[in-house]
Amino acid sequence: MTRETGRQAAMATKNTKRHERAWPSLSTVRWSCLAHLVVTFCVFCGHSSSAARGAEVTTNGSGGGVWSEAATWRGGAVPKATDEVTIRKGDTVVFDRNDDGKTTCARLDIDPQGALKFKTGAGKIIFVVPGPVESFGLIKLDGTASADDFHELRLTGKSPDDRTVKFEKGGALVVSGKGKLPGGKRNVLLGSKAPDPKAADVTGKLQVKGGILDVRQADLRDLKLLGDDIDNTGATAGQRCNVLGNRFLERCNLGLTTCDTPFVTDNVFDYTGGPWHQPAAIALNGCPLAEVKNNTIKGSFYHAFSVYGCTDAVLSGNSSDRCYVGVYSVGTTTFKGHRVREAGGGFAVTSFTGTLEDCVFEKCAYGIHLSTGTVQMTSCVYRDPPKDGHAIDFALGEITLINCDFGPENIVLPKVLPKADKPFVTAMHYLILKVNGEVPEDSEIDVRTVNPKPALAPGAADLNVRNAPAPLVGGRTPLPQSLSPLILRAWVLDKDGKTVPVPEYSVRVLAPAQDGKERKVLKTLTIKPDAKWFRPKPNDPAPTLQVNLK
């Protein structure tokens, strides 16, 4: 539907409602006459203003054409800067001008199955629009054909609403820059340039609802890139959600809501201003199976990442630098290889069930703040903390630490402890044991707690030990990458907030089983886990302990 048709429908509805009203009183008629004069004057002024704004221009309806050619347009005239342009259903317009320092049109509407494409092989092509853009069709900027091309969509409206591009259901934003250009150059730019650079909000907005959001190898400046209700599984035709290899410069945000399996990777966000910019640089809300990896966030964002209600989402290899909080997360999520540097906090999680693996918190006031939830942290490092910094700021929930480099002295519990049935924090370490000497094949290592309290019944599992007995392969117990290493409980902060002493363990080297007989004990030793057991590289073959059979 064109804007002209839409207005006609609205006027028809208005006239119908007018005839349904009761007859007015005489005094009402008098006031109505006065109002009629005012309305007539306003309409006259409105017509004058409309004339100043320019005409409504539509494409030819027979396939479109090149923007600067008169035959592309109904009426045979190329749109002026003051015109409001509609690309009609089935028409494709190829934009072929460099309007830097000019205005292309006052606003733009694209009907379903209509398209605006930037011309390739033509050098610098810049489309400038000071009014809103609404698209049920396609906008495509493709700089992959030539390194000499430069495509830019520039939003210059006076207000944030005017600096908005909305892609309604069925609409598509497809952007591709040429990769590996010298000096980190990018040849596609999506940007907002407010008339008043000192305005409180100078950002623009690109929003895709239920269509295609596919932006690759581009620069974005002062823009919010938003995707809503997009299925990226391949099950729904005409829908994609991929944001790959882009640079988000200054006040930019990426927000995805109810997008299934979105893919966000290798993007850089760089904000040099202040104060803390909100919302998060990358915000996911209700996006199941999201894959977010190798993104870098730098600068004064309040949250680098916000992940809310994203079932089975995986965030890996991401980093943030100088953001107030590295990650805010609610729900079930896995974080791997995440780096947070110079932050007020690393992770702030609530109602959270998930894992943090190989995460590093450097120069952070706290590593993780847990409001409620169950968290497993594996091979996490808290490095170079500020004065009074702490690895864990604990409010309520449970945390299991496996091979982490901090102790109970780095954990702050609330002054008033919540009621709990289980320990607040349980710390465990890997045991990689190397047996020197002639070790028979099929030998095993068994580990049991010495004098456990309460005592274990015969044959009962020892809850302080995981994966025992363990096989000896090449004279060594399995590494963590095997998924079955020996893991021993170390210290515990119990439900009363007290540190439980580290238990002692009896380690036995057992010979191969023979004819159903009980294995022969080749060697026995008693050990006690300590901070030196931390493994900076968990799968380094260097053992935690060694034992000689002779």
Residue range 17-73, pLDDT digits in tens: 323 323 333 233 333 433 443 334 443 344 434 445 689 999 999 999 999 999 999
> Is residue 5 one of the residues assigned to a domain?
no
- If asked whether residues 199 and 294 sit together in one domain, one would say no
Q: What's the pLDDT at 53?
A: 62
Please give the Cα distance from 488 to 493 (Å, whole number).
16
> Is residue 251 one of the residues assigned to a domain?
no
- If asked whether residues 214 and 305 sit together in one domain, one would say no
Please give the Cα distance from 83 to 104 (Å, whole number).
9
Domain boundary among 194, 212, 246: 246
- If asked whether residues 367 and 434 sit together in one domain, one would say no
- Percentage of residues in the chain with pLDDT exceeding 90? 81
- If asked whether residues 398 and 488 sit together in one domain, one would say no
> Is residue 124 one of the residues assigned to a domain?
yes
Instruction: Decide if pLDDT at 153 tops 70.
Output: yes
Q: What's the pLDDT at 40?
A: 40
- If asked whether residues 298 and 349 sit together in one domain, one would say yes
- If asked whether residues 236 and 306 sit together in one domain, one would say no
- If asked whether residues 443 and 414 sit together in one domain, one would say no
Please give the Cα distance from 287 to 353 (Å, whole number).
16
Instruction: Decide if pLDDT at 447 tops 50.
Output: yes
Domain boundary among 418, 439, 469: 418
Count other C-beta atoms under 10 Å from residue 525's C-beta.
12
Please give the Cα distance from 249 to 269 (Å, whole number).
6
Q: What's the pLDDT at 517?
A: 84
- If asked whether residues 230 and 275 sit together in one domain, one would say no
Instruction: Decide if pLDDT at 228 tops 90.
Output: yes
Q: What's the pLDDT at 32?
A: 41
Instruction: Decide if pLDDT at 338 tops 90.
Output: yes
Q: What's the pLDDT at 390?
A: 94
> Is residue 26 one of the residues assigned to a domain?
no
Domain boundary among 418, 450, 475: 418
Burial 170-189 (b: 16+ CB within 10 A, else e): bbbbbbbbbeeeeeeebbbb
Q: What's the pLDDT at 356?
A: 97
Contact 265, 292 (CB under 8 A): yes
> Is residue 120 one of the residues assigned to a domain?
yes
Q: What's the pLDDT at 514?
A: 84
> Is residue 22 one of the residues assigned to a domain?
no
Which one-letter DSSP state was computed for residue 231? B
> Is residue 522 one of the residues assigned to a domain?
yes
Instruction: Give the pLDDT mean for 142-159.
Output: 97
Instruction: Decide if pLDDT at 3 tops 80.
Output: no
- If asked whether residues 233 and 319 sit together in one domain, one would say no
- If asked whether residues 241 and 304 sit together in one domain, one would say no
Contact 461, 448 (CB under 8 A): no
Instruction: Give the pLDDT mean for 237-265.
Output: 97
Q: What's the pLDDT at 439?
A: 86
Q: What's the pLDDT at 550?
A: 77
Question: Of 101, 160, 91, whose CA–CA distance to 131 is shortest?
Answer: 160
Q: What's the pLDDT at 303?
A: 97
- If asked whether residues 202 and 60 sit together in one domain, one would say yes
Each residue's pLDDT tens digit, 268-313: 999 998 889 999 999 999 999 999 999 999 999 999 999 999 999 9
> Is residue 9 one of the residues assigned to a domain?
no
Contact 328, 304 (CB under 8 A): no
Contact 116, 89 (CB under 8 A): no
Instruction: Give the pLDDT mean for 171-191.
Output: 96
What is the span of the domain harbouring residue 155? 51-246
Instruction: Give the model's confidence band at 205: pLDDT under 50 very low, under 70 low, under 90 confident, else very high.
Output: very high
Instruction: Give the model's confidence band at 7: pLDDT under 50 very low, under 70 low, under 90 confident, else very high.
Output: very low
Each residue's pLDDT tens digit, 396-429: 999 999 999 999 999 999 989 888 888 999 999 9
Count of domains observed in the chain: 3
- If asked whether residues 115 and 220 sit together in one domain, one would say yes
Each residue's pLDDT tens digit, 64-101: 999 999 999 999 999 999 999 999 999 999 999 999 99
